Structure 1
Amino acid sequence: MFSMMLREWRTQRGMSQLDLALSAEVSTRHVSFIESERSKPSAEMVLRLAEALDLPLRERNAMLVAAGFAPQFGDSRWDSPEMEEVRRAATLLLAAHAPYPALVLDMAFNILDANPAALEMIGADRTVLGKVNLVDLVFMPGQVRDSIVNWSDVAEYLLHRMREGVRRHGPQSAMGTVMRRAMMQPGTAALSMVRSHWRGSVLLPLAFHANGQTTRWFTTVTSFGAPQDAMAEEITIEQFHPNPG
C-alpha cells in the first residue's frame, strides 16, 4: 500500500517527515496524514513526493500504482519498438568507439549489446546478449574474473556502484538481487567494508590479461538524459579507453 511504501522510502532516504515535507513543499501535517492513511494523495502529490525522494521513474510508477493511479512513465523492454531510438543511439556509440570495447548495460548490469571488441574481451559472441551479466562475469570464478589483474580494484568499484544502485532503486530491486549474488562469491566479503575508496571517482583503471598479454584501460559511463521511460533512464554505455599509464 502507498502509505507503507512512502514511509519505507522516506526511511531509506534518511528523511524525517519534516525533511520530506520541506523538500516537497507541503505541510508536515499532510505528510503525516498520508502516512497514517488519514488522507489520500492525488496523483500530482504522489509525483511531488516521489520527486522529493529522488526516486527513479520505475519506482515513481510503482508509487502511483500503489496509490491507485495508472503509471505515467513508459516501462519498455529493450527489444520493444518504443526503445528503437535508444537502441539506434546505443549502436552508433558502440560502433564509434571501435576498435575499443564498449557495452550496453541495464540497471542490473545485464549486457544488452556490445561491440566486437567487448565480446572478444568477455570471450563470447552475440548469442549471449541479454543473457549474461557483467557483475556475474567479474565476481564469479571463471575466465573473465581470472583475467582481471587488479580484480580487487574492479570489484570494489562495482560494489560501490551497486550500493548506489540499491540506494536509488531499493533493496528488493533487480540491482539488490545482483548485489546479493555478488556478495556470495569468493573474496567479496573481504571487500565489503570498503565504502569510500571509489566515492566520487570518475575513472576505473582496469588491467586485463588475455592471450598472453596484459592490456590496460580506464572506463567511462554514458547515460541518456531526460528520459520519460524507466528502461531508457536505466541504460548505460560502458566504454573502455586505452590507458597508457
Structure 2
Amino acid sequence: MTLPSPSPTPAGMLLREWRTARRLSQLALALDAGLSPRHLSCIETGKAQPSRGMLARLADALDMPLRERNALLVAAGYAPSYPETALGTPALAQIRRAIEFTLAQQEPYPAFLLDRHWDVLAANDAAQRVNRFVMHGRASAHANMLRQFFDPADLRPAVANWEEVAGELIRHLHNAVAAAPSDAKARALLEEVLAYPEVPPRWRSREPGAAASPLLTTVLRRDGHELRFFSTITTFGTPRDVTLDELHIECCFPVDDATARLCRQLAQEDAEAPAA
C-alpha cells in the first residue's frame, strides 16, 4: 500500500513563500542557512519538522522582520521568541525619551516617528509648522504619510515634484509588500494609494532591482516660496522587540539656505504668536 505524501505544513508554506519573495532557489537558501537542499525541501513539503534553531537560521538567511519570525515559529508549533511591547508602556520609557530627544533636536526642521506602514506616530513642532504653511493653515486629514502624499485633498498639491517623490514612495511600498508577503495591511495600503486619481498605471507593477535615488529632494511650494528637503532614516539597532523593529525616525534637512531661513522664520513666528 502506498502511503499518502505529507501535506506542506504552515511553516513550510511560509518558508516557500518567503523564499519566492526573496527570489532564492532552494539551493541558495540552503547554502545560506547551512543545511542541505534535500533537508530544506523536506521542511517545505512537511516531511521534516524543523527545530527552533533551524527556523532561526532560515529566518536569518531570509532577513525576516521580527513579527514574521514570530509568525514562522507559531506556524511550526513553537511559542514566539520576540515580545511586542506597546510604545506607551513603562518598559519602553527610555526609548520614548530617546525618540522625543531626537525629534526635538531636529528643530527647526521637520522630523517624524513612523511605523512600518508609514503611520505617523509622532512629529516635532517643525513638521506641523511646515505642513500648516504649505497647506495654508489646514491640518492634514491623514495620520499616514503615504495617504498625505497621494490624496489630492491633502499635502499632494503642495509637492512641486510630486511624481518623483510619489514614485519613490511607491517603490518602497512595493518592496515592503514583496519583503513581507503575509503583510495584508501593507498590501491593502498599496492598493489604496494606487487608486487615487492620476496615479500612473505603470506604478501598479513592481520594478525588481530598480535603483533608488542617491538623494531624493522633496520640494514643497506655497505662494512663490519653496522648501527643499532631503531625509535621513534612523532605526533601532539589533532590536529584540517587534515594536522597536518596526519603528523608524525620518529627519528632514534643508537642501539650501533659503529653506533653512524659512524654517527659522516659521519657528520665530510661532514663538512670537500669542497663546490661544
- TM-score, length basis structure 2: 0.80
Give the match for residue 242 of structure 2.
230
CA drift of 1:171 comes to 5.6
Distance in 1 between residues matched to 2:87 and 2:197, nearest whole Å: 32
Correspondent of 2:108 among 88, 99, 121: 99
**Residues 72 and 95 of structure 1, relative CA distance in 2, 3 Å threshold:** same
| Conserved? CA contact 1:156–1:191, under 8 Å | no
Q: How does 1:1-245 map to 2 (within 5 A)?
A: 1-123=10-132, 132-170=143-181, 172-190=183-201, 192=203, 195=207, 199-210=211-222, 213-244=225-256
Give the match for residue 272 of structure 2.
none
Bigger CA radius of gyration: 2
Q: Is the deviation greater in 55-64 or in 219-228?
A: 219-228
Deviation track 1:21-40 (CA, whole Å, cap 9, x = no partner) reads: 11110011111111121111
| Conserved? CA contact 1:138–1:145, under 8 Å | yes
Distance in 2 between residues matched to 1:71 and 1:171, nearest whole Å: 16
Deviation track 1:58-102 (CA, whole Å, cap 9, x = no partner) reads: 111110010011111122223233332222111111110101111
Distance in 2 between residues matched to 1:128 and 1:56, nearest whole Å: 30
Ranges in structure 2 where 5+ consecutive residues have no aligned partner:
1-9, 258-276
One-letter amino acid matched to 1:118: A
**Residues 198 and 140 of structure 1, relative CA distance in 2, 3 Å threshold:** farther
How many equivalent residue pairs?
A: 243
**Residues 197 and 59 of structure 1, relative CA distance in 2, 3 Å threshold:** closer
Q: Is the deviation greater in 109-118 or in 167-176?
A: 167-176
Q: Is the deviation greater in 202-211 or in 224-233?
A: 202-211
One-letter amino acid matched to 1:167: A
Deviation track 1:93-128 (CA, whole Å, cap 9, x = no partner) reads: 111010111101000000000001112233499x98
Distance in 1 between residues matched to 2:177 and 2:23, nearest whole Å: 14
- TM-score, length basis structure 1: 0.90
Distance in 1 between residues matched to 2:206 and 2:19, nearest whole Å: 26
**Residues 85 and 173 of structure 1, relative CA distance in 2, 3 Å threshold:** farther
**Residues 79 and 223 of structure 1, relative CA distance in 2, 3 Å threshold:** same
Q: Is the deviation greater in 176-185 or in 101-110?
A: 176-185
CA drift of 1:134 comes to 0.4
Distance in 2 between residues matched to 1:166 and 1:48, nearest whole Å: 22
* SS of residue paired to 1:204: coil
One-letter amino acid matched to 1:93: T
**Residues 113 and 156 of structure 1, relative CA distance in 2, 3 Å threshold:** same
Identity over aligned residues, as a percent?
36
Q: CA RMSD in A?
A: 2.5
* SS of residue paired to 1:219: strand
CA drift of 1:233 comes to 1.4
| Conserved? CA contact 1:160–1:199, under 8 Å | no
